[in-house]
Structure 1
Amino acid sequence: MAAWSTQTQLGKQLGLDARQVGTRLTELGLKSGSTATESAVSRGLAKKTAMRDGTEFYVWSTAEVLALLGGPRETATTVTPATTDHSAFDLVYATDGSAIRNPGPTGWAWVNQRTGETGAGGLSHGTNNIGELLALRYALEHAGPDGDLLVRADSKYVINIATTWGRGWQRRGWKKADGKVPENLEIVQTIIALIDARTGRTELEWVKGHAGDHFNEIVDQLANAEARAAG
């Protein structure tokens, strides 16, 4: 029989509070406001229940939702608040990807914020998500396994892949909750392997794109230039 948990109970296993769990569920498309989405209910990930006084609320399928959220916090990758002190990290990289017409010619880029080194490349055909993933992959390869690393990206998709979704897929034999194979699986597997090979901690920070962040602007320009050159 399936076990069900409240957001508070899930949070205790993830090292998060109930609000943070709610935020993650919303990002995964499982929650909207204070209620579970129709998709979450139809997939058996959430169900409505009630307190003794009749107050209704949702509980969550413990094993499945923990897997989607990345499981108990024992992995090396976490999401860092945007107010993080970057001096606490040995390495800080910004990454970005771009696709013209999406799908279409695709570019990716990273910059080492400490040294100013950059890396970029392109594909004749891809998607924006592929560009974002490749930017993270090559940033991890360049950073190497040692030292505490912060990766700054404006893609919540790539951050979710590295911190939650990818871990859930890995636990299920690289399958999504619906049994389907995740998109861009080979790149995702490479990213997870690179993170797991690191001896230092690896954290990711979401950066609002096109909002004046100096290094985000650099990688945006580089990725766009590579996409145009690949077209």
Structure 2
Amino acid sequence: MAAKTQKAWSTQTELGKQFGLTAREVGAYLTELGLKDGPRATERALSADLATERALKDGTPFYVWHTERVTELLTSRGLEPVAAETATSSGGAPSGRQDAPPRPTDGYATVIATDGSALGNPGPTGWAWVDQATGESGAGGLAHGTNNIGELIALREALRHVGPDGDLLVRADSQYVINVVTKWAPGWRRRGWRKGDGKAPENLELVKEILELAESRRGRTDFEWVRGHAGDVHNERADELAVAAARAAAAG
């Protein structure tokens, strides 16, 4: 039987499977090799045909890598491919391993899930963020607040954690927070921090801090709404941390 031809192009996730690495760890090696700069392939990688740009259905760009040549370069860095999987299906035949399709989050250096929770709303309040790639998280609480305040603090602390560099995707189940940053706050600022009815926006100091952090970033900052309590593992984890922080604040 002829040997199976190796796939010509691979995502970082697919390359990582060969070495037992995460997509982010592969990205770090590609950066060391001068093939990647932030979330993008370098001109060197593109001109040498080591990478090429693709786009998801929604137009989000991402890069794929020449499987054979980039695998050789990673091996030259001392990486060793992991043993091939030999698991079998219930019928006894080898189970085929299919490459995972690119995810909408693959084009970002960092993807963060955020959430906030107020017991009683208003009441003791918690906030939390979770880095989807590394599993890092942050959480905290305050004695009195609202769900919206918890959501805003979660975003502020996530932006502080990530810093100004690298393209960032924030995944939140609060349309209020997303609309504040992407739609409403710039208009409030143009009107001297007044809403259309002439009143001052709620949680204004938090909003100003967040807008300053977002606008000072050198990388792109995008937002994605996630339906809460719908099984998204990272959203659920952020919710658990925020609720736990709110309960801790209530216990005093």
* TM-score normalised to structure 1 length: 0.64
Q: How much does 1:85 deviate?
A: 1.2
What is the aligned partner in structure 2 of residue 187 from structure 1? Answer: 206
| Pairing 1:162–2:178 present | no
| Structure 2 Cα separation of the partners of residues 85 and 101 of structure 1 | 35
| Pairing 1:143–2:151 present | no
| Pairing 1:108–2:127 present | yes
Q: 1:194 aligns to what SS in structure 2?
A: helix
What is the aligned partner in structure 1 of residue 225 from structure 2? Answer: 206
What is the aligned partner in structure 2 of residue 58 from structure 1? Answer: none
What is the aligned partner in structure 2 of residue 52 from structure 1? Answer: none
Provide the aligned length of Structure 1 versus Structure 2: 151
Map 1:21-100 onto structure 2 (within 5 A).
Answer: 85-100=104-119
Letter in 2 for 1:103: P
Quick one: which of 171, 189, 195 aligns to 2:190? 171
Letter in 1 for 2:229: H
Q: Give the alignment's Cα RMSD to 1 decimal.
A: 1.5
Letter in 2 for 1:142: H
| Pairing 1:125–2:144 present | yes
Q: 1:107 aligns to what SS in structure 2?
A: strand
Q: How much does 1:178 deviate?
A: 1.0
Q: How much does 1:84 deviate?
A: 6.3
| Structure 2 Cα separation of the partners of residues 87 and 118 of structure 1 | 20
Letter in 2 for 1:181: A
Change (3 A) 1:199 1:132: same
| Structure 2 Cα separation of the partners of residues 202 and 130 of structure 1 | 21
| Pairing 1:228–2:250 present | no
Unaligned runs of 5+ in 1: 1-79
Segments of 4+ in structure 1 off by > 2 A?
none
Larger radius of gyration: 2
Identify which of structures 1 and 2 has the higher relative contact order when contacts are C-alpha pairs closer than 8 Å and 6+ apart. Answer: 1
* TM-score normalised to structure 2 length: 0.58
Q: Percent identity?
A: 66
Q: How much does 1:114 deviate?
A: 1.3
Change (3 A) 1:84 1:186: farther
